[in-house]
Amino acid sequence: MVTPVIAGYGVAVPPPMRQDDLWDGFFVNHTDGTDRSMRIFRNAGVDTRHGVVNPIKEDVSQWTTAERMDRYETEALPLGEQALRQALDDAGVRGAQLGLIAVVSCTGYATPGLDIRLADRLGASIDTQRLFIGHMGCYAAIPGLAAVADHVRAHGKPAALLCVELTSLHLAPGPLTTEQAVAHALFSDAAAAVVVVPDGSGLAVLDVAARTDTAHAGAMTWHITDHGFRMGLSARVPLVLARHLPDAVGALLKRHDLERDDIDAWAIHPGGSRILDVAEKSLALSEPQLRVSRDILRDFGNCSSATILMILREYARQRPHEVVATAFGPGLTLYSALLRSV
């Protein structure tokens, strides 16, 4: 049987923005300006973020959704192409060899989409299959990875996955509520890609599992409005995750006769510093086991679906044997993947 293996990684980000500068130069006047809002920004666990729009220089909060989608098309294509070319070069694969190009994004839409335009730019074959995964949020990289791994397993041809998220385009009109202030203190822009090959060298995709708690579907939302996409983020989210994480991860490991102590690397989506604190406690992890996730949050912010691929790229350099990747999003949904170095 063919084993799908992540053989190449690519990451592209727009210009950096310092968290303190964003507060002092813009958000102090875009929130209620209270000590509470300032603490949200100061304690987010983020030092640097990246954005195609820096609100200090360009306030898009009053832009229509149509204007934001026009900008999305302009900015997402070069970032996505850069990340995909890096991943292809890293894997030693040409665009013409790809059997599938899958694109994930919850921050912009257009038809013909990025999948079609990038396939053309990368020299993909006329019969290369394409898939767009939209509006699933931060966990979407894992079902995306499952899709490209299944394609490689079924067809024996390389496949590529690109996650491109431009959250800076969805700056909400002020003054921000507390929920919105939390989101705007965390989210950032990035494009991240992987190339999966049949029976190569790298991290093999062994299994993927999902768990959705529909009783808390309203705890995390992402709605299209006339002024961009609006985030809803309940303070209950960490508590719900704490309840489900041990069982969700435990069930995945049990299918492979593994225990938590068998896992060498934990790629936990840094939805925020509090989320990582909850993961550390509920999964009985040590601080060093979450260092990569915290470092990505500090240096890049929460890049939605792209974040897990960015964390996996860091772990691939360390060559761990067993890896668990876990991410969370609307639904309320948890997705986990088990990967193994081969």
Residue positions annotated with a catalytic role? 138
C-alpha separations of 91 from 158, 192, 295 in Å: 10, 14, 25
3-state secondary structure of 121: helix
**Main-chain phi, psi angles of 331, to 5 degrees:** 150, -45
Residue in the block written with tokens 């832009």: 63
CA contacts within 13 A on the Cβ side of 251: 12
C-alpha separations of 7 from 149, 197, 274 in Å: 12, 6, 32
Q: Which two tokens stand for residue 274?
A: 């509090």
Helix (H) or strand (E) holding 189: strand 189-198
Residues near 213 by beta carbon (within 8 Å), at least 6 away in sequence: 240, 244, 331, 332, 333
| Closest listed residue to residue 167, CA positions, set 209, 241, 105 | 105
**Main-chain phi, psi angles of 84, to 5 degrees:** -65, -40
Buried b (16+ CB within 10 A) or exposed e, 122-153: bebeeebbbbbbebbbbbbbbbbbbbbbbbbb
CB atoms within 10 A of CB 93: 21
Residue in the block written with tokens 């038809």: 111
